[in-house]
Amino acid sequence: MSESNVSLKVEFSGGLELLFSNQRSHKVAVPGTVPTKYNDPSSPSKPADIAFLIHYLRDNLLKERVELFMENDTVRPGILVLVNDTDWELEGEGQYVLKEGDEIVFISTLHGG
């Protein structure tokens, strides 16, 4: 594993913050290199990407009701992800490789009026 961490700013909104200690903005440092299979050190390594970050957030920051955040190894449908203010669908979604200083925003669209 690489010793250098990647520092990120992670934000939750649209109601998702309720699952993360009711705190919208978090500073997170993740390893620069991680196993391809989450939590399986025997699998080959890869640079940390958003797919890893989602698992990492689940295990390190999420406080309750995981089913409202994740489904089938990714975010639950209805959660928008932005990478430095750009729709992650334009950035390779889970395969986007995290860079120092990136701002990742998760917004739930599921909360009503």
Partner 1 sequence: MPPRTCALCSTNRAMLKRPKTGQQICRECFFYVFETELFKPGDRVAIGASGGKDSTVLAYVMKTLNERYNYGLELFLLSIDEGITGYRDDSLETVKRNQQQYSMPLKILSYDELYGWTMDAIVSQVGRKNNCTFCGVFRRQALDRGASMLGVDHIVTGHNADDIAETVLMNIMRGDIARLGRCTSICTQGEDTIKRSKPFKYAYEKEIVMYAYFKKLDYFSTECIYSPDAYRGHARVFLKDLEAARPSAIIDIIHSGEAFEIREEVKATQKVQQTCKRCGYMSSNDLCKACTLLEGLERGMAQAGITDRGRKKLESEGPAPENLRTIPFYQPPSAGNAAILLEAP
Position 13 contacts partner 1 (CB under 8 A): yes
Among residues 91, 94, 99, 102, the one that binds partner 1 under rule CB under 8 A: 91
Handedness of CA 77, 12, 67, 57 (dihedral sign): positive
Among residues 30, 50, 106, 108, the one that binds partner 1 under rule CB under 8 A: 108
Position 113 contacts partner 1 (CB under 8 A): yes
Binding segment (CB under 8 A) for partner 1, from list 25-33, 38-46, 50-58, 89-97: 89-97
Tell me how far apart the alpha carbons of residues 18 and 37 are, in angstroms, rounded to a whole number: 28
Query: Are 56 and 62 contacting, i.e. CB atoms less than 8 angstroms apart?
Result: no
